């Protein structure tokens, strides 16, 4: 029997972790729809903070078997009470609410077909909390909680929902953080180096595969040893 071709959506697919995941899945024979606010090339321009846009983009892409939520922003580095007005809400909207909108758009179809894989890209900051990054840390903690809740809701349907929590990964998003904050994050990594997008993509490729059958609601660290619990 021929192996079923899967269809995937990867948000934040224009660069960084999202682009690496999209490439890895395409190499494995998955039909990938890359969504990104930037658009351009083969990437479909989608603002994940707009629920209607998310629904329309998913409907246009057709039945989706795999969803990887990688769209995200780092936000400004400042003490919580010194963030500019609206900055906390902006980061939450992209990183957490956008993830929810995309999950909401794909889950009914996955449940109806009896198979689905969702991987949400969270962060080690969501487990430990980084100083001067309260919005980012809170948003990623929310992604972890959302993942666990969704996974329990669909546990008997054939749909698996997991998340990964990278430490600092070498992507263009590092341009959004201060040099001091980058030094802080690197100091916490026992391996003493940045992670690479391809390393995250390798983990995600297993989580969305047919080989992953008994892991759901889980948090998979990829942190160079920073997280040991």
Q: Which residues participate in catalysis according to the annotation?
A: 136
Contacts 24+ apart (CB under 8 A), 175-178: 176/73, 176/74, 176/75, 176/76, 177/74, 177/77, 177/133, 178/77, 178/132
Residue 4, C-beta contacts closer than 8 angstroms, at least 6 positions apart: none
- Tokens linked to 68: 């990887």
Strand arrangement of the beta sheet that strand 66-69 belongs to? 44-45, 31-36, 7-11, 66-69, 116-121, 159-166, 219-222
In whole angstroms, what is the distance from residue 154 CA to residue 170 CA?
33
């Amino acid at each position: 029997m021929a192996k079923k071709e899967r269809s995937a959506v990867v948000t934040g697919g224009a660069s960084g972790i999202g682009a690496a995941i999209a490439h890895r899945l395409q190499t494995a024979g998955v039909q990938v729809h890359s969504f990104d606010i930037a658009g351009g090339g083969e990437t479909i321009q989608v603002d994940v903070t707009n629920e209607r846009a998310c629904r329309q983009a998913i409907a246009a892409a057709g039945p989706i078997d795999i969803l990887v939520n990688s769209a995200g922003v780092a936000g400004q580095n400042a003490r919580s009470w010194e963030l500019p007005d609206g900055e906390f809400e902006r980061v939450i909207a992209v990183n957490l609410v956008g993830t929810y909108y995309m999950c909401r758009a794909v889950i009914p179809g996955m449940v109806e077909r009896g198979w689905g894989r969702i991987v949400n890209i969270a962060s080690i900051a969501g487990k430990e909390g980084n100083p001067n990054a309260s919005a980012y840390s809170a948003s990623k903690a929310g992604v972890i909680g959302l993942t666990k809740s969704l996974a329990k809701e669909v546990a008997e349907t054939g749909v698996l929902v997991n998340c990964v929590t990278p430490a600092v990964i070498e992507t263009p998003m590092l341009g959004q953080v201060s040099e001091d904050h980058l030094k802080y994050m690197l100091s916490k990594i026992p391996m003493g180096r940045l992670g690479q997008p391809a390393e995250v993509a390798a983990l995600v490729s297993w989580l969305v595969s047919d080989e992953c059958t008994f892991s759901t609601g889980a948090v998979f660290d990829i942190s160079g040893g920073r997280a040991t619990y």
